[in-house]
Structure 1
Amino acid sequence: MLLQSLFLNLVVASIHSSCYPPNLLQHNVLLVLSLIQDTLLLTITMTHPHGDSYIVNLKGGEGGAGGSGGKWGGNGGVGEAPKLYLDADIMHIVIQRSGREEGIDITRRAFLDWLSPLNFFLRQADISRVRTKGTGEWLLKHPLFLQWESSSESTLWCNGISGAGKTVLVSMVVDHLSAAYRNNRDIGVACIYLNHKEADTQTPSRLLAGLWRQLILDRDIGSIAENLYKQHQEKGTAPSLEEVFNVLGSSLKEFSQVFIIVDAMDEYPEFQREILLKHLAVMGSNVNLMITSRPNISPESSSFPNLETLDIQAAPGDIQAYINAQIESSPHLSRHIRRKPELQEEILTKVMDTADGMFLLAKLYIQFLSTKNTIGHVREALKEPPKNLYDSYHIAMQQIEAQNEDNRETAHSTLIWVVNAKRPLTVSELTVALAIKPGAQSLNEDYLPDIETVLAVCAGLVIVDKESSVVRLVHYTTQEYLDSIQAQLFPDAQTEITDTLFTLLNFDGYPDSSWTSLRIEDLPSLVGYSQYCLAHAVGEFEVQLRKVLLEFLGGAFPWKKTLAGEKNFRERKWNSMPWNYEDWPSQPSVLWISAAANLVDTVKFLLDQAPLQVDSEHPEIIVASYYGHAEIVSLLLEKGADVNATGGVYGGPLQAAAAGGHTEMVGILLEKGADINAAGGRNGSPLQAAANRGHTEIVGILLEKGADINAAGGEDGSPLQAATDGGYTEIVGILLEKGADINAAGGIDGSPLQAAAARGHTEIFGILLEKGADVNGAGGFYGSPLQAAAAEGRTEIVGILIEKGANINAAGGFYGSPLQAAANLGHTEVVGILLERGADINAAGGLYGTSLQAAANRGHTEIVGILLEKGADVNAAGGFYGSPLQAAAAGGRTEIVGILIEKGADVNAAGGLYGSPLQAAANLGHTEIFGILLEKGADVNAAGGIDGSPLQAAAAEARTEMVGILLEKGANINAAGGFYGSPLQAAAAEGRTEIVGILIEKGADINATEIGSEDGENGSSGSDEDNNNGSSRSANDQSSNSGSLEEGLES
């Protein structure tokens, strides 16, 4: 049929428009689908010009046998299929049934978790809970603290020895500031608790996002953050550090003053520490920083404004209060003191002397004394106090070794797991790990230990955060101590952990084909942590583990598909290396997974067993280069791997290494003959890959070695556009200085200036303009820099572009014009600016035809009013909906429908997807709008559109009440045309039994053979068999006998 052919033409046109990025291409085709047919089963394979493939499935209803799942659906569930709309901003998914909107938004919590998976609220609550009342108040009264709190743009750097209570003091400061400014929305408070065990997850970008999350607790998320989500979510990528910093910066500007407190900077790895400190130092003039650290870290006074240093020492009164509180909470000591009251003073004096300003040492000593069963044993222990923290830890280990065998083994296993875990374990994960026996085929819950027992046998070295249920060592220094003795005490730690994880992953029934319906809740909690099974195997024990390792690798891919988000769990449970690699082969070999996981010995073994068999589509050398596995890459090259191998999303080894940020690997590959300008992959070239990810050093190396600074290709078109897209100002400067073409065309955004305008990178935007960027450069998704800025609501940039001579009516791009872009996406201020500067209010083009139609369909009432007031044609024809009124009716915008009719809109305007406003309301179940249109004289027999008539639309979509009203109003019960040919055929095809009965009772011709038409208006006769059974047509049917959509169109 012509209508379906039109639809396919639109899809093909989108596919072959090289300016459309994969995420926006996918989104736009989905938008077209939702506009053309609301109830459908479509499977469309879309191939991006650069080779990326996307599969989109929009299903009709699912359920038992009976009705079909939509007009183009195939066999669906009984009754009505859901209608799926993808809002153009990708932020909002709405499911509609029977005319009632049930908004299922990307929830605020889900959005926050996406941008900021780190939640410091729980950590703050846990630390506050253990703080002894009345302690730490000296800090709040200290002149340097008072000066810091009352001034602006100041930094207070707090040094203190291990165990001095710095973390507890931080929690007190956070509580103090939060309480003091609770009712002042102009002042913000945020904190970071750094932890050496969480360095892999506490990346600088995530930490900055964590600050942002705290600051917007009771505020709107903001357009910059929403746009960032829009940019990355569809591609499944994470925001860059600079993008997150930009989001945080926009939120910081909403406050007159912000207090940011960072604890334990000394626990943060040095290479990441420099990055974090660099960004903290330039937060802004309204930001006050407080940072705690051990004395081995010193701040650079030149980097931080108004820097003051404060030494943290535990106040004697605080330690005394803490010791008394610990004594009171100890059943043994309390009982002893009731018998001998003078014992309390003995304990207090000795512990105070021993603690020497360290809360932690006092805590460990009190815990040791609390184990003593008699007063005599307490006094003996007081005669030989620990000399320092390590001595306290040594005493604790002696306590552990003195226990019975069961308790000792539990303590050893607990310490092995807690010390060596790649991230902190939860209580549930730890207890499951302790319960798994070697060779077990399932989890025997009878062996799950009680966490209180576990803590008791570990002699105070292990604690649990109550809020988060995270298991931790009592202090950072505990890790250092246990690391120093692990080789002697737990020589087989990694083997024990790996064996346990492999045992779990080999439980009976894991994994198998029945997992399509499995829920993550059905698996033992430790399965999530089991992603680190290969990470624990790497290294000296790899040979010892070879047999079980090879067995697991041979069946690892189902786990990857299931738990890395590709099969049936919405949340990725496995997101570490190598499971987080985005471009796995469809059938990865053991060699491929080994190379990805840096299993050097295993790779050697496999290469010695047989000649190298390269995965032709996803060469092993590419994934190894992406992760920076230098030894693996060298082994592969020795065995004949091609240093310029091509394939996969990264195109080649050098581009993968550049994207991964591995400077050493880039050097190795170049030395081995890698083509510095190798084209292909998502990023087009190695230089573009490095520029896109913000790897400044690699950019410098590649340029020095002769990389083509203007190499075209990739999603970003050029290295300059790639750096601009990511917001990397320094790299933009380097590229321009080296001669990059400032107006290089191509890529998603068409030009560097359009990219800067779309992303809101104001500083880069200014640099590009200053260097001569063309403000009217055409191309890309948005068509022009002005349309990009208008679509994304960049008010300041819109004004600058107009001042610089941008064509305010430049046609093209997805939205047709800057005005339609702003109207479509609800940017009222931008609409006002454009109209004030002379934008053509009735400019035709774009998806919606006119700005008024766009605003009407999207429900932007204020903008509709502005456009009408400024002279917009209320009956302008064109666009997907044919008229503004049909657009508003289709969108369910009751208020706007009333406004348009009041302003003279033709209620019978023909054209568009639904043929008439009334058919749109009938099809989509907008009952109130349906009634308004009839009251205003809408023609109940208006022919045209996908359903042919309002009655056929209502019949197909089970709008029983509307069917009755239309028949009462004189609708032609046998009107021919539309997708199904007649109202009766529509109801029958969709399984609407009640409506079939009504139509027959009212005289519908049960022998009519009209089954739809080429133009959606006039029927053509033929048998059901001749016409694909008359219903449930699929877009795939159009090309089922051909190899491509284009050939399908010809047929």
Structure 2
Amino acid sequence: IALQRADRFRRITNWLSPPDPWINHESARQRHEPQTGTWLLSCDAYLNWKSASGSHLWMYGKAGCGKTLLCSTATEDVKAHCENAANAGYVVFYFSFSDDRKQHYEDLLLSLVIQLGWKEPGLSMLQQAYEKPNQNKPGQDDLEKILFSCIGSYDELFVILDALDECPEDSDVRQNMLAWLARLKQRAPQVKILATSRELPDIRASMVVIDAVPLSIATHSVDADIRRYTAMQLSRDHRLSRLDQTTKVLIEETISVKADGMFRWAYCQLQELKKLKSTRPRFVKEALYSLPTTLDETYERILIGIEEGLRIDALVLLRWLAYAKSPLSLSELVDATVIDLAGKGNVQVEDRPGLDDPLEILSGLVTIVGSERNEDDLDYVEGVRQDASGSENEKTELTRPRQQIAGATKVKLAHFSVKEYLESKRILESSAKDFHLENTREHRMLSQSCLVYLMHYSSCDEKLSTKQDLIRFPLLRYAAESWFYHSALQGDVQPTRETDLLCAKATLRDWLQVCQPDRTWEKGFGYLGEIGSSLYYASFLGLEQVVGKLLSTRADVHAQGGQYGNALQAASFGGHEKVVQMLMDAGADVHAQGGQFGNALQAASSEGHEKVVQMLIDAGAGVHAQGGHFDNALHAASFRGYKKVVQMLIDAGADAHAQGGYFGNALQAASSGGHEKVVQM
């Protein structure tokens, strides 16, 4: 029975694919030195939080003061506590500026649900969601319901959240997460929240709402940790360890005093000392006397210290590290540096640098972390072991990137403050101004780089059109899965390469072999379903500029194909209001049948897109139209629990008593979905 439960939970975890916070935790523990952070464990505020019922703690401090390290220390302490306590549990989540899957409220919910869902009642609720007829992943409301049920099975639950400030402010992303903290305090008195962040007004206000005790990370406490950390680094480094004791003491004292409570600053200075070409005491002293006083100055020195001939590569790498959706492997970064955007674009494969070059070029600005393993990656890596043909040299070349793609190594910017400096106006007033990054421009560069890489792959005689291509072309998966993400953020520019990719049949097919955005359950080089039109994919992805260009060239708005049948249904499913309006203005038929949901109204209703539902109703879409996955729009909205959409459809004349479809009627659809409020309507 235990094995069956474990297998069931593994399948559910793979289905939900939650972000893994333990990667961030292990990365922090690897940077942790023994005895550092122990002051926290004896601090009255921390001890009271751990022992008092329903208490909450907010640790705040300036950038680079070691908040994540302290959070990891608290996590280890709480783990030990829970092992010796009856019915006590803990969950953790590390928000991360460098990973798009660790920035949003839903990412947090997914992770916490899986951390707690291995026992009842969580496991049964997850199994029920997994076995639903449409097998759509649970939405935000469903995840909250499951999470609160899981929490209820504990007498005491520690919730540890690091870097709340790395949850983005835009689009109410952070506000949604902070509002949840208030609900958590209100509904789950057994929960104890520990959160870390910089001191920002919205976060402070939220901490007041949940009555969290504020704990400022004192400079003097961190300074003692910095001294210990510095001493350990001096004893471990093969060059600095040979310094005489007097010089070592001078380094410890200078760095701990000048750090002013900034672990990040101390780390950077030690990295620079390790690079000294000579460790003669007088050279070390000169370096210590000229240390930069701030993180800004530190980053400026690192950047202008990059060799002139490597600065273009450095800028390219920084761009990818700052704006990629998720951390990239060394092999992916290496391929990113050989993409030439001039003219039609080219990938200069013969000029690939070594795998370690990114780490050497950006020493002090980047860090290596583990990666979340992808079971499909491991499958095809095993296939390469068995099937790769050719010379031993060719097999060796496959082995090197294989290790990266299989999840051994990912690279990210070492700290949030690095990206903040690169984007700031301050860098424009410094000697490092050539490294300034601007959000829209950089997304444009990344989108175009991904598209050039895909076109290079499509035209390459060496491609095998099998999973082995994901090894031979290291950036292929990222480019295929992310070009449209960056395109949507690149501003008002002519989408020439986007339309080139979508309108060329061979290139379109090669892209879809790697990534089918409308069939995310199909992994790379699996079953290739019915291919839609170029307008269909642009509409599904919500690429307004591309849709506009295609419509201006008289693209067929009625063309059938793809998982959702036609462009209007695809755009409606995605909730892309502007695209829906553009398509209707171009003559798209709101009554058109076909695709997974039968019609556009059912597609929009199934995802709760209220504005699109209203647009379609206003355009005359039939609320009684039959067909598709849920048989009609009302059944779709009822099953998914979208109360407002249900009311909109009823107001438009939908018959709540109509019989038919998988569920029989709307009441049974709502009951099957477990939505009491919709049932009561």
User: TM above 0.5, one fold?
Assistant: yes
Which of 88, 93, 98 is the matching residue for 1:192? 93
Structure number, greater radius of gyration: 1
Q: Given residue 415 of structure 1, which amino acid in structure 2 is its aligned partner?
A: L
* Corresponding residue number in structure 2 for 1:597: 541
Q: Given residue 627 of structure 1, which amino acid in structure 2 is its aligned partner?
A: G
* Corresponding residue number in structure 2 for 1:415: 318
Map 1:505-904; keep pairs closer than 5 Å: 505-507=454-456, 518=467, 523-530=472-479, 531-538=481-488, 540=490, 543=493, 546-547=496-497, 549-554=499-504, 555=506, 557-559=508-510, 562-564=513-515, 572-573=523-524, 586-610=530-554, 612-616=556-560, 618-666=565-613, 668-669=615-616, 680-686=627-633, 688-695=635-642, 698=645, 715-729=662-676, 731-732=677-678, 736=680, 740=681
1:624 touches 1:633 (CA, 8 Å); kept in 2?
Answer: yes
Specify whether residues 228 and 591 from structure 1 end up closer, same or farther in structure 2 by C-alpha distance, changes over 3 A only.
closer
Which of 173, 196, 213 is the matching residue for 1:308? 213
1:542 touches 1:602 (CA, 8 Å); kept in 2?
Answer: no
Specify whether residues 644 and 379 from structure 1 end up closer, same or farther in structure 2 by C-alpha distance, changes over 3 A only.
farther
1:118 touches 1:202 (CA, 8 Å); kept in 2?
Answer: no
Aligned residue pair count: 618
Specify whether residues 330 and 226 from structure 1 end up closer, same or farther in structure 2 by C-alpha distance, changes over 3 A only.
same
1:397 touches 1:459 (CA, 8 Å); kept in 2?
Answer: no
Q: Deviation string for 1:974-1004 (max 9, x for gaps)? A: xxxxxxxxxxxxxxxxxxxxxxxxxxxxxxx
Q: Which shifted more, 514-523 or 549-558? A: 514-523
Specify whether residues 177 and 650 from structure 1 end up closer, same or farther in structure 2 by C-alpha distance, changes over 3 A only.
same
1:472 Cα deviation (Å)?
1.3
Which of 420, 424, 430 is the matching residue for 1:480? 420
1:186 Cα deviation (Å)?
2.5
1:686 Cα deviation (Å)?
4.6
Which of 348, 358, 364 is the matching residue for 2:262? 358
Map 1:328-407; keep pairs closer than 5 Å: 328-330=235-237, 333-335=240-242, 337-338=243-244, 341-374=245-278, 378-400=284-306, 403-405=307-309, 407=310
In structure 2, C-alpha distance between the alignment counterparts of 1:604 and 1:239, rounded to whole Å? 33
* Secondary structure of the structure 2 residue equivalent to 1:309: strand
1:362 Cα deviation (Å)?
2.3
In structure 1, C-alpha distance between the alignment counterparts of 2:258 and 2:643, rounded to whole Å? 50
1:125 Cα deviation (Å)?
1.7
In structure 1, C-alpha distance between the alignment counterparts of 2:119 and 2:6, rounded to whole Å? 18
2:518 touches 2:540 (CA, 8 Å); kept in 1?
Answer: no
Q: Given residue 332 of structure 2, which amino acid in structure 1 is its aligned partner?
A: E
In structure 2, C-alpha distance between the alignment counterparts of 1:150 and 1:657, rounded to whole Å? 48
In structure 2, C-alpha distance between the alignment counterparts of 1:113 and 1:489, rounded to whole Å? 39
Q: Given residue 399 of structure 1, which amino acid in structure 2 is its aligned partner?
A: G
* Corresponding residue number in structure 2 for 1:470: 410
Structure 1 unaligned segments of length 5 or more: list them: 1-88, 93-102, 576-581, 741-1051
In structure 1, C-alpha distance between the alignment counterparts of 2:186 and 2:474, rounded to whole Å? 41
Specify whether residues 696 and 651 from structure 1 end up closer, same or farther in structure 2 by C-alpha distance, changes over 3 A only.
same
Q: Which shifted more, 241-250 or 459-468? A: 241-250
Alignment of 1:159 with 2:60, yes or no, is yes
RMSD: 4.3
1:261 Cα deviation (Å)?
0.9
Map 1:129-148; keep pairs closer than 5 Å: 129-148=30-49
Q: Given residue 446 of structure 2, which amino acid in structure 1 is its aligned partner?
A: I
Specify whether residues 190 and 301 from structure 1 end up closer, same or farther in structure 2 by C-alpha distance, changes over 3 A only.
closer
Structure 2 unaligned segments of length 5 or more: list them: 373-408, 428-432
In structure 1, C-alpha distance between the alignment counterparts of 2:66 and 2:648, rounded to whole Å? 45
Specify whether residues 674 and 303 from structure 1 end up closer, same or farther in structure 2 by C-alpha distance, changes over 3 A only.
farther
Which of 157, 169, 180 is the matching residue for 2:70? 169
Q: Deviation string for 1:589-632 (max 9, x for gaps)? A: 11222222233333222222226442246231221222233332
* Secondary structure of the structure 2 residue equivalent to 1:167: helix
Specify whether residues 282 and 114 from structure 1 end up closer, same or farther in structure 2 by C-alpha distance, changes over 3 A only.
farther
Alignment of 1:426 with 2:426, yes or no, is no
1:441 touches 1:508 (CA, 8 Å); kept in 2?
Answer: no
In structure 2, C-alpha distance between the alignment counterparts of 1:431 and 1:332, rounded to whole Å? 29
In structure 1, C-alpha distance between the alignment counterparts of 2:258 and 2:647, rounded to whole Å? 55
In structure 2, C-alpha distance between the alignment counterparts of 1:355 and 1:574, rounded to whole Å? 51
1:626 touches 1:653 (CA, 8 Å); kept in 2?
Answer: yes
- Structure with bigger helix share is 2
Specify whether residues 588 and 508 from structure 1 end up closer, same or farther in structure 2 by C-alpha distance, changes over 3 A only.
same
* Secondary structure of the structure 1 residue equivalent to 2:93: strand
Q: Deviation string for 1:516-559 (max 9, x for gaps)? A: 86557655342221211232234557856514641454335534
Q: Which shifted more, 586-595 or 352-361? A: 352-361
In structure 1, C-alpha distance between the alignment counterparts of 2:659 and 2:507, rounded to whole Å? 38
* Corresponding residue number in structure 1 for 2:230: 323
In structure 2, C-alpha distance between the alignment counterparts of 1:574 and 1:398, rounded to whole Å? 44
* Secondary structure of the structure 1 residue equivalent to 2:58: strand
Q: Given residue 324 of structure 1, which amino acid in structure 2 is its aligned partner?
A: A
In structure 2, C-alpha distance between the alignment counterparts of 1:550 and 1:359, rounded to whole Å? 48
Specify whether residues 226 and 723 from structure 1 end up closer, same or farther in structure 2 by C-alpha distance, changes over 3 A only.
same
1:571 Cα deviation (Å)?
6.4
Map 1:912-951; keep pairs closer than 5 Å: none
1:159 touches 1:295 (CA, 8 Å); kept in 2?
Answer: yes
Alignment of 1:502 with 2:451, yes or no, is yes
* Secondary structure of the structure 2 residue equivalent to 1:292: strand
Q: Given residue 483 of structure 1, which amino acid in structure 2 is its aligned partner?
A: E
1:641 Cα deviation (Å)?
2.2
1:128 touches 1:168 (CA, 8 Å); kept in 2?
Answer: yes
Q: Given residue 263 of structure 1, which amino acid in structure 2 is its aligned partner?
A: D
1:142 Cα deviation (Å)?
1.6
Specify whether residues 350 and 229 from structure 1 end up closer, same or farther in structure 2 by C-alpha distance, changes over 3 A only.
same
In structure 2, C-alpha distance between the alignment counterparts of 1:556 and 1:163, rounded to whole Å? 45
In structure 1, C-alpha distance between the alignment counterparts of 2:92 and 2:12, rounded to whole Å? 20
1:595 touches 1:623 (CA, 8 Å); kept in 2?
Answer: yes
1:126 touches 1:466 (CA, 8 Å); kept in 2?
Answer: yes
Q: Deviation string for 1:330-373 (max 9, x for gaps)? A: 555545x43xx444444444433443222122223333444343
Alignment of 1:289 with 2:193, yes or no, is yes
Map 1:994-1013; keep pairs closer than 5 Å: none
2:104 touches 2:177 (CA, 8 Å); kept in 1?
Answer: no
Map 1:186-265; keep pairs closer than 5 Å: 186-200=87-101, 204-215=105-116, 222-231=123-132, 235-265=134-164
In structure 2, C-alpha distance between the alignment counterparts of 1:710 and 1:303, rounded to whole Å? 44
* Secondary structure of the structure 2 residue equivalent to 1:139: helix
Specify whether residues 506 and 245 from structure 1 end up closer, same or farther in structure 2 by C-alpha distance, changes over 3 A only.
same
Map 1:915-994; keep pairs closer than 5 Å: none
**TM-score of the aligned structures, taking structure 2 as reference length:** 0.77
Q: Deviation string for 1:651-672 (max 9, x for gaps)? A: 4434433433444444554565
In structure 2, C-alpha distance between the alignment counterparts of 1:343 and 1:412, rounded to whole Å? 36
1:181 Cα deviation (Å)?
3.3
In structure 2, C-alpha distance between the alignment counterparts of 1:392 and 1:612, rounded to whole Å? 56
In structure 1, C-alpha distance between the alignment counterparts of 2:238 and 2:622, rounded to whole Å? 71
**TM-score of the aligned structures, taking structure 1 as reference length:** 0.52
Q: Given residue 362 of structure 2, which amino acid in structure 1 is its aligned partner?
A: C
